[in-house]
Amino acid sequence: MSRDVDRREFLTLAGTAAGAATLAGCSGGNETATETNDGSTATDTEASEELPEPETREEHLQRTNRLVHDDAPWIFLNRQYSVYGKSADIEWEARRDERIDGYAIEPTGSKSSVTITQSKMDTGLDPHDHRETTTDNIVTQAYEGLLERDREGKVINQLATGYERLEAGQVRFELRSGVSFHSGDSLTKEDVAFSINRIVDPEAGDLESSQSDQLAGVTGAEPADGDSAVIVSSDGINPVVFALFATYCDIVNKSWIESNDTAYINSNMEGTGPFMLDTYEQDVQVVFESYDDYYMDAAPADQLTIQSASEPSTRVNQLLNDETDIIVNVPPQNISQIQNADNASISAVPSTRIIYNAMIYNREPFDSVEFRQAMNHAVDLESIVSNVLGSFGDQTGQPTLEGFTGYNPDLDPYPYDTDEAERLVEESGYAGAEIELHTPSGRYLKDLEISQAVVSYIDELENVSASVKQRDFGTLVDELVGDLEASPSFYLIGWGNAAFDASQTIIPLLTTGGALTSYNNDRVDELMDQAQSMGGES
């Protein structure tokens, strides 16, 4: 199999199938060969600034971010923060990846049980059959993966004690010894291989896993001969494979899965984690007990309860009334209420989610790079972060978040400059344009309010008028994942990137054929294609 074919298959499996044009672009390989569909050359910046050809994977990703920044296919908005309220009876700090690790919560004084209130409960307890943070927060108390992340997002060992690349399409994980499932069964390499195959191969575990696209490019796993290890195969080099395994693929007990039906697996748990399931009341609460035979020190809390309250004010009242210890998604208007309370405080951390306004690259007036840049200059992002988000957000100027592999530290957010915005609009030839921003409401923190602010800033320009259109999230998504021609021209959406790698944002959102793409730029496709064939680890 040729290297080009490997790359094509990898991108397809990543849910971001690059089309033939993309791959054709790879062979060009020089700055003058590519031209964007809107007629402006995306490589103008590179050429005019005489930037050297990127060499490493990191440099390719950074260069891509620069191109995207300059070409402005989005209005770059904010990095969302995860804002939690926590009781004075515990010691705990929020993680960047939005997960709440019960093992890291330390009750103080005589307290031995901890309660967490989320916005929603799980959609079932099968660790391979969901894709939401709310379910993750429940299942990962009892299930563990090969790798995980620390609070800052760095990849660390969990059930693996080491990992290495064997060759371009193979990696090897060494397994921890002395690990047992909650039933008492010992963890084996067959369990680990089965768990990986159950996600990536619908035939292997009789499950159509919604996580299959998250182990991008992974084709299967098998137990290593002799040693306590597994060999994982991928299409191509798969530079993000360890980052993906640090986020997805909880390990299950093969015999337990095979001997139970779907409904049972979704209402019971058999993992290796520090907490074992005590009681499960679907849609109401999940109660865990500390697992005595855990391979590390027992969890500080004897009992962990996870419940939900969809109303933010209900969660806040529960915290202030000492009925819970951690609450999620504290809205900006309630932050001072918690900060002023004696029995509670705020724990906030930048999350892995970026909020942006996509502008479809080939629709009027967004087919003009000047118009798109004008929209970025028109919005006072600093004010939105300060006034709408209560300062719990960061301004962005590129698709990759700070701290991620591929982040370009040389790029600043577009400055708020209405004169420049109006000049660029005139230059674009679209003076007098009327645009409509489609936005969900309640899906992301203050999404509607952010959209209203964006639209009001744009509307202040003398040569553009803007309005906002509230949309049901499901309907909006239905349009976005379908035919690009049927999607709105201008919309707000958020994107979480749990792999902490630029490729997992840029490929699906900004490359040709990406599942949620709004942009087509051959040079970006080319750079990403090259980056994904390089071995630099994220």
Partner 1 sequence: MGSFGRFLLKRSLQGVVVILGVISVLFALRYVTPGSPVDFIAPLDASDATRRRIAESLGLNQPFYVQYGDYVVSLLQGEMGYSYRSRTAVAPRVFAKLPATLELAVAATVVAVILSIPLGVISATRRHTGPDYAATVFSFLGISTPNFWLGVMLVILFAVQFGVFPTSGRPVGLLDALGHLVVIAGPERGWALPLNVGPFLAAMQNWLLHVTLPAITLGTYFTALITRLTRSGMLDELGQGYVQAARAKGLPTTLVRYRHALRNTLIPVITVVGLQLGTLIGGAVITEAVFDWPGLGSLIIDAINNRDWPLIQGSLVVIGAGFVVVNVVVDALYVRLNPRVLE
Chain positions contacting partner 1, by CB under 8 A: 12-17, 120, 122-124, 126, 129, 131, 202, 208, 210-214, 262-263, 266-267, 281-284, 307-311, 313-314, 317-318, 320-321, 323, 472-475, 477-478, 480-481, 495, 508, 514-516
User: Which residue, 5 or 481, has its beta carbon nearer to partner 1?
Assistant: 481
User: Which residue, 318 or 368, has its beta carbon nearer to partner 1?
Assistant: 318
Alpha-carbon span 185 to 529, nearest angstrom = 43
- Considering the complex, what minimum distance in angstroms separates the CB of residue 318 from partner 1? 5
Q: Which two tokens stand for residue 255?
A: 């015999």
> For residue 280, with 0-12 CB atoms within 10 Å meaning exposed, 13-18 middle and 19 or more buried, which class applies?
middle
- Considering the complex, what minimum distance in angstroms separates the CB of residue 119 from partner 1? 11
- Considering the complex, what minimum distance in angstroms separates the CB of residue 343 from partner 1? 11
- Considering the complex, what minimum distance in angstroms separates the CB of residue 79 from partner 1? 18
Q: DSSP character for 244?
A: H
500 phi-psi bin (left φ>0, alpha ψ -120 to 50, beta other):
left
User: Which residue, 61 or 499, has its beta carbon nearer to partner 1?
Assistant: 499
User: Which residue, 138 or 230, has its beta carbon nearer to partner 1?
Assistant: 138
- Considering the complex, what minimum distance in angstroms separates the CB of residue 129 from partner 1? 7
CA 285 to each of CA 116, 299, 308, 412: distance values in angstroms, whole numbers, following the listed order: 10, 20, 7, 44
User: Which residue, 253 or 308, has its beta carbon nearer to partner 1?
Assistant: 308
Displacement of CA 349 from its chain's centroid (Å)? 15
- Considering the complex, what minimum distance in angstroms separates the CB of residue 202 from partner 1? 6
The answer to whether 163 touches 196, Cβ cutoff 8 Å, is no
User: Letter for the amino acid at 438?
Assistant: H
User: Which residue, 28 or 474, has its beta carbon nearer to partner 1?
Assistant: 474
- Considering the complex, what minimum distance in angstroms separates the CB of residue 314 from partner 1? 5
User: Letter for the amino acid at 287?
Assistant: V
In which element (H, E) is residue 73 found? none
Alpha-carbon span 221 to 491, nearest angstrom = 40
User: Which residue, 38 or 270, has its beta carbon nearer to partner 1?
Assistant: 270
Query: How many CB atoms within 10 Å of residue 430?
Result: 21
Query: How many CB atoms within 10 Å of residue 281?
Result: 11
Q: 66: closest CA among 516, 504, 407, 358?
A: 407
